[in-house]
Amino acid sequence: MNRLLSVLARCATASALAIAGVASVPAAARAATYAQIEGTGSTWSEVIVQQWIADVDASGMKVVYTGGGSTKGRKDFAQDTNDFAISEIPFQGTDEQGNADTSNGRSFAYLPIVAGGTAFTYQLKVGNELVRNLRLSGETLTKIFTNQITNWNDPAITKDNNGRAFPNLPITPVVRSDGSGTTAQLTTWMDKEYPSIWRPYFGKSGLTSYYPKKSGSRTVSQAGSDQVMNFISSTYGNGTIGYVEYSYPVNKNYPVVKVLNKGGYYVEPTQYNVAVALTKARINTSNPNDPSTYLTQILDDVYRNPDPRAYPISSYSYMVIPTASDDPRMTTAKRQTLADFMYYSLCAGQTKAGPYGYSPLPLNLVQAGFDQIAKLGKADKDVDLTNRDVRSCNNPTFDGKNLSNNKLAQIAPQPAACDKAGAGPCGTSTGTGDPSTDEGDGGTTDEGDGSGDGGGGGGTDVDTGGEVTTDAPGSVDPVTGEVVGGDTGAVSDGAAVYADPSTVLVADRAGDTRAFAWLSGLLLVTLVVLPGLYVSALRRRGPAGARS
Amino acid sequence: MSAVVSGGVRPRRALAAAVLLSLGSGLVLAGPSSTGATEPVARAGAGAPAYSETKTLQRVVTKPDGSLQEFPAYTVTVTADQTTDLRGRQRIRIAWKGAQPSGGRASNPFGESGLAQEYPVVIMQCRGVEEPGKGEEQLRPETCWTASFAQRSQITRSDGEAAWRHDLDADEADKGRVSGLDPLPGADVCPTADIAGYSTRLTPFVAASGKVFPACQADQMPPEAAVGAAFPAAELAAFTDLDGRGEVQFEVRSDVENESLGCNHETACSIVVIPIVGLSCDQPSSPPTASDNACRRTGRFVPGSGNVASEGVDQAVSPSLWWAASQWKNRFTIPITFGLPPDTCDILDARAPTGFYGTELLAQAALQWSPAYCLRKDRFKFQHNQMSDEAGFTLMENGGGAAALVSSEQTQVGLDPVGYAPTAVTGFAIGYVVDRPDNAGELATLRITPRLVAKLLTQSYLGSDLGRGHPGMEGNPLSIMQDPEFVRLNPGLSQINQEVGATLLSLSNQSDIIRQLTDWVMQDRAARDFVSGEADQWGMVVNPNYEGLALPASEIPLLDDFVPETGNTCRQENPAVYFNQIAAPVTTLRKISEALLDAHPNVQTRCELDADTGLYKVGRIGRQSYGARFMLGLVSLGDVERYGLKAAALQAAPGKFVEPTESSMAAAVSLMEPGEETLPFTLDQADVRTSSKAYPGTMVVYTAARMQNLDEADAAKVAQFIRVATSEGQRPGPGNGQLPAGYLPLRRTGVTAGLYAAAQDVATAIGTQTPPASTLPDPVDLTTDGGSDGTDVPTTVPDAPAVEEPPVAEEPTEAPAPVEEDTAPVAMPATTAISSRTAGLLLPLLFLGGLLGSLAVAGTRFLVRPPRQG
């Protein structure tokens, strides 16, 4: 009976609450009608773009993206087979083969979507251990990819690593076989910074999306960033080096090269170092009415940024969006989806750039991006762009007082002293996403600032700042490899080896204890027995000598 | 604050209980369809299909004398498994029997590429219904969607290609030289439509907006139409087996995916199935014209044959003329309804998202769950960021993410104790797409043993003749389809070698999935022996580079180093490890699912000269042809159900093969052992091997978060997430906040009771930041600070966070009363290096002793004894 009553009571309250519950649901479900949009292009930025696509699904947006390379993305855009393309480089007008690389008359605008560093990932073993802290200068890298430096024991590499020599092992450069924006980024940088090395190899000046692999060289080509990573990280990959966006090695926990910058430090493309480098990017804003140049990047000053934290080969990835009011593939609902997808990506979506191996866009670029999104509204007055602006933008680099400031760049930790040219090398490992710095907990990083309770938000970046790897020699017990002093910094796993001689010893030690145990045992026995043997030998020789 | 909360708690729980009750009864009623979603076996046999209709179809041709010549009649039955409350991109199984066997099978039946076939079954989605009620539209060819104009219009055809002009059932107007749209668009719109001496038939497309697209060329089609777009066509010309049967998974499109077609919860739509039996023809002229003859053709391909080269087909029996009156009347119309579009998160929601980082196993559930959080003010903006378990755990530990989503205990680096709350029961599958030989349809059940997986993962198949030079395994089969072990388990399949048969497409990064997969492999003695170098009974041996591989492991390394010697210039230019090119693992499970869906192996052995650049390039091989598909890939159970993939039956007890179903997952859960307080449960594969019912790929996804030093707001969010996910998040269904197929509902009672209880305990521990004493870190890890308690254990329970209670809980789970003496960590001195002065000095001392000894001996000899006489 009681039970029945309680059930009845429950039902009554339930129905009462059901009404209240309905009322309490925010009126957010206001019909922003979305239609599915489809894109193709860059694999450089694919990792984070796919995550954004999963995120906006909750808002009812359906986005389909397949990689295939920047070149494919631009071609598809020109042929009206996608709704947007993602590319690391703008339409080139004419590509290096003399083929047209234009939008084929389709109106478009460029929109920067995420920043990142083109990382050099490699497999190099000393003994049986993976080197995780290789350092190279830009010149050495260019010579490697133009087949001028072909062995890991090259003096130039030894010099970059402050005298630490690597084994006699041929270098196998791994390049992309498909039309790739990553290749374009690399070759742009080589063309600008080391023209005397790059141009004779290429046979002309400028960049290329198709790496000009030379017949008979050790260079191998692979299709897509995934396959470059597979090739390098396989057992067979000892001696290889290739280029991919930093997210690929970070997700695989694989080392990347620290590249020498103009400030004299060897640095890794962490989100901080990329953000610092890109403060010197010149964004072409000369003519907002010229879509072929507006917002395109001029990276010369990024390559030469004198800040000791700057990662030289940093750049942006672009979305190419159709802007004509009579675009054959666009509808109001598709434009709305494109606009809101970008709104999310440029704002909240940037907060996860760091954990995925990218670097968030600074707000001046986000703002310029909004101007580009506005063109969708211009093309179609039914596209709703209200309140989609920088004020509502939840971007980790945001600085309310100065929009052109990149807060991330300001809080970026200084590189460790052992990362300086002529010093070190540091023992800390690369490819973890954590910066290599001497700044301890709290240090200069404004703890909590920008992170708020954002959880996965900006907190990510700043909090990792407080968790920096400390300078190895001082804080790691050279024998046990354990951290002394309770700092939980990213201690390397025992399997890794660094080009710092002292740590090489440590890494070898674990496996060698048994051998050493035997050796010392043997020594002990010898020590005890030898004198006696010696004596008896002398004795035996003594009489013999007497006899003779 | 607590008063307000407690005031709201009870009724809300009651509400949820009522909802659950009603849902529970709904579930019972919806039995066949809902269990069908997760039980392939049940799906095939149990219950009546949602749609079933039988029709007799017959082609008739008028003889010159006016009498009718009748072709054999076919009594065709078409069934569909789901027709109501559909979502965009949902896949519906459509099957038929009794149809005329098809011929000239196309390598890809979808869209334009499916046109070159004979006697196929055309399946497409159309707006409208057969007998429209108020506000509904009449179904007609003009409202049926095709991705290309070539599938609906015949432009500038010579008389020999104008068979439709003699359609027996067509109106006179439709037999004209140009027809379909009156008036025909001018040359400015359709420049090639009206050319003297040629016939043209337009089947325009009428969009939901009412706009008419003439469909005479590509730019006169709706915006969603494109050939070779990222989003593939759904409509297809499917193949009927020699026994008259066939089946497909047909993907429906809502107005979100296809605005012009415009199907949604308000606009009624249908799936139209037209088994092509050939045009019926009117009385021929005398002598018969070319088009008279064309109308009477009966096909060039024998039933069951293939047409990989896309040769021409007889128009009268091809899918191109599906709209012709005598074919259109043979249609089966499956009415479908779409569900209400789920409420979605507001893009302008100012709350910052809270990121949970980790396993892709939760991806499909998280997609449905997220709106249930963002849509409520008293919840938060939940986001699932997919990455490896390990990377997610590291982010959680260092504060980068509020919580991690993992499937096993992770190596803890930080000092804060981490609690693991069971959040979802799901798992992995070995997905496959395998066609039976002679176009006999897809394989329905695939059996896989641990040793077969071991062979695939250790790259022990040769792939092709290129692999024959690999030392130490020359006698091995080229691929799994030629492996006697596989053939014996799965008889009747083609043994024609394909390189992709040498691999299981897998993950390149670390994952708990790989660990469990390899754990299952290594529990099997035969597999273990194989990996350790013992040949199987047919003489196949492990690839020497993998011999003795340490498994289980969370990553499958690429260990081979064999580069084939070949005369092929391209391969000489791009020397690569052949087996690694075949394996080509990828970074996400989603990519594997897509590869399976498209039957597009990720094998990277294509090597050719690129004419544009003059460079030799390697790349991915092409898609597989329908009828000759064979591919295996590691996928999540969520994806299996979402995309309608097929999942292999894995061996549990010897000889027992278990498919992933709710009951087989439940059987595995019942074998799981709880971990120590707040730690994950473990599934011992040794137990699975004793079971004939447990699915070995069953995995639990845990929400892992710090139980100390987690930001208060984040702690509340994580606790709320665990409670909501384990209560309302476990209601099966396709709606917001519900649990999609591919997950076993985690309930308070039954086999999942232990998981449920653990989840509530951990939620409390995280929410209150009060770890159970036993989980406090080994004080060894702590820094010494004079013996005082290094950890900040609150002596009172903080205010419970404002979260709603789990609706099914009878009593709110009380936060455990703190037992102070237990919670205070036992202060212990920090460890020091294990060393002792004496021991450290021992070696030098012995050296010294030895030295002294020998000195003494030498001294005695030279000083005490008289010098030797010469």
* pLDDT tens digits for range A223-264: 888 899 999 998 888 999 999 999 899 888 899 999 999 999
Of B476, B208, B515, B568, nearest to B359 by C-alpha is: B515
How distant is the Cα of A26 from the closest Cα of chain B, in angstroms?
Answer: 7
Which chain A residue's Cα is nearest to B545? A235
Backbone angles phi, psi at A496, to 5 degrees: -90, 155
Query: B147 and B223 in contact (C-beta within 8 Å)?
Result: no
B 8-37 residues with CB < 8 A to A: 10-12, 14-15, 17-19
Tokens coding B195: 């050319």
CA-CA distance, B298 to B97, in Å (whole number)? 21
Q: How many CB atoms lie within 10 A of CB B349?
A: 17
Query: B93 and B644 in contact (C-beta within 8 Å)?
Result: yes
Residues of chain B below pLDDT 70: 1-47, 228-230, 774-848, 850-851, 854-855, 857-870
Of B149, B147, B110, nearest to B225 by C-alpha is: B147
Contact criterion met (CB < 8 Å) for A226 and B584? yes
- For A150-196, the three-class secondary structure string (H helix, E strand, C coil) is CECCCHHHHHHCCCCCCCCCECEEEEECCCCHHHHHHHHHHHHHCHH
Backbone angles phi, psi at B31, to 5 degrees: -35, -65
CA-CA distance, B693 to B681, in Å (whole number)? 19
Degrees, nearest 5: CA angle B103-B105-B110: 130
Q: Going along A349-428, which residue ranges are E strands?
A: none
Contact criterion met (CB < 8 Å) for B353 and A55? yes
User: Between A and B, how many CB-CB pairs are < 8 A?
Assistant: 320
Q: b/e for A42-62, b at 16 or more Cβ within 10 A?
A: bbbbbbbbbbbbbbbbbbbbb
Q: How many CB atoms lie within 10 A of CB B682?
A: 16
Average pLDDT, chain A: 77
CA-CA distance, B181 to B220, in Å (whole number)? 13
Average pLDDT, chain B: 84
SS3 content of chain B, % helix, strand, coil (to 5): 30, 20, 50
pLDDT at A438: 76
pLDDT at B618: 84
CA-CA distance, A86 to A181, in Å (whole number)? 9
What lies within 8 Å, CB to CB, of B162 at 6+ separation is: B154, B199, B201, B290, B291, B294
Contacts of residue B583 in chain A, CB cutoff 8 Å?
A: 230
Tokens coding B268: 């009624």
Task: Using CB atoms, pick whichever of B229, B508, B610 lies closest to residue A229.
Answer: B508
Give residue for tokens 């004509």: A324
Query: A445 and A413 in contact (C-beta within 8 Å)?
Result: yes
Which chain B residue's Cα is nearest to A347? B352
CA-CA distance, B55 to A408, in Å (whole number)? 69
pLDDT at B87: 83
How distant is the Cα of A455 from the closest Cα of chain B, in angstroms?
Answer: 5
Contact criterion met (CB < 8 Å) for A10 and B580? no
Contact criterion met (CB < 8 Å) for B376 and A56? no
Report how far Cα B197 is from the mean position of its chain's Cα atoms: 52
Amino acid symbol at A318: Y
Contacts of residue A479 in chain B, CB cutoff 8 Å?
A: 833
Task: Using CB atoms, pick whichever of B256, B399, B850 lies closest to residue A531.
Answer: B850
Report how far Cα A176 is from the mean position of its chain's Cα atoms: 17
Element of type H or E holding A160: helix A155-160
Decide: helix, strand or coil at residue B28.
helix
> Chain A contact for B352, CB < 8 A?
yes
Contact criterion met (CB < 8 Å) for A334 and B259? yes
CA-CA distance, A315 to A181, in Å (whole number)? 11
Task: Using CB atoms, pick whichever of A226, A328, A460 lies closest to residue B400.
Answer: A460
Task: Using CB atoms, pick whichever of B17, B223, B619 lies closest to residue A177.
Answer: B619
What lies within 8 Å, CB to CB, of B664 at 6+ separation is: B658, B693, B694, B695, B698
Backbone angles phi, psi at A416, to 5 degrees: -65, 150
Residue A330 has pLDDT above 50, yes or no: yes
Tokens coding A46: 């694919």
CA distances from A310 to A45, A260, A314, A395 (A): 20, 9, 9, 21
B 83-102 residues with CB < 8 A to A: 88-89
Which chain A residue's Cα is nearest to B575? A220
CA-CA distance, A546 to B212, in Å (whole number)? 125
* Pairing assessment for the beta strands A63-68 and A37-41 based on DSSP bridges: parallel
pLDDT tens across A192-208, in order? 999 999 999 999 898 89
CA-CA distance, A22 to A15, in Å (whole number)? 11
Torsion of CA B409, B412, B414, B415, to 10 degrees: 80
CA-CA distance, B126 to B138, in Å (whole number)? 10
Contacts of residue A204 in chain B, CB cutoff 8 Å?
A: none
Which of B613, B703, B862 is the mutation pick for testing A, counting most A CBs within 10 A?
B613
Query: A60 and A87 in contact (C-beta within 8 Å)?
Result: no
Which of A226, A228, A547 is the mutation pick for testing B, counting most B CBs within 10 A?
A226
How distant is the Cα of A280 from the closest Cα of chain B, in angstroms?
Answer: 28
Give residue for tokens 């003594």: A542
Task: Using CB atoms, pick whichever of B10, B350, B617 lies closest to residue A177.
Answer: B617
Q: Where are the alpha helices (DSSP H) in B98-214?
A: none
Strand order in the sheet with A125-126: A125-126, A129-131, A496-497
pLDDT at A282: 83
CA-CA distance, B655 to B648, in Å (whole number)? 14
Tokens coding B156: 């500038």
CA-CA distance, B412 to B390, in Å (whole number)? 10
pLDDT tens across B451-507, in order? 999 999 999 999 999 999 999 999 999 999 999 999 999 999 999 999 999 999 999
CA distances from B649 to B432, B527, B641, B656 (A): 11, 17, 15, 9
Task: Using CB atoms, pick whichever of B219, B374, B580 lies closest to residue A236.
Answer: B580
Residue A474 has pLDDT above 70, yes or no: no
pLDDT at A98: 78
Query: If you ran DSSP here, which 8-state letter would residue B134 be given?
Result: T
Q: Where are the alpha helices (DSSP H) in B360-483?
A: 363-374, 389-397, 450-457
A520 falls in which pLDDT band (50, 70, 90)? low
User: What is the value of ipTM here, to two decimals?
Assistant: 0.76
Contact criterion met (CB < 8 Å) for B230 and A340? no
Across the range A470-490, mean pLDDT stands at 37
Which chain B residue's Cα is nearest to A520? B843
> Chain A contact for B596, CB < 8 A?
no
> Chain A contact for B768, CB < 8 A?
no
CA-CA distance, A343 to A347, in Å (whole number)? 6
* Pairing assessment for the beta strands B236-238 and B212-213 based on DSSP bridges: unpaired
A439 burial (CB, 10 Å; 0-12 / 13-18 / 19+) is middle
Residue A512 has pLDDT above 60, yes or no: no
Query: B768 and B797 in contact (C-beta within 8 Å)?
Result: yes
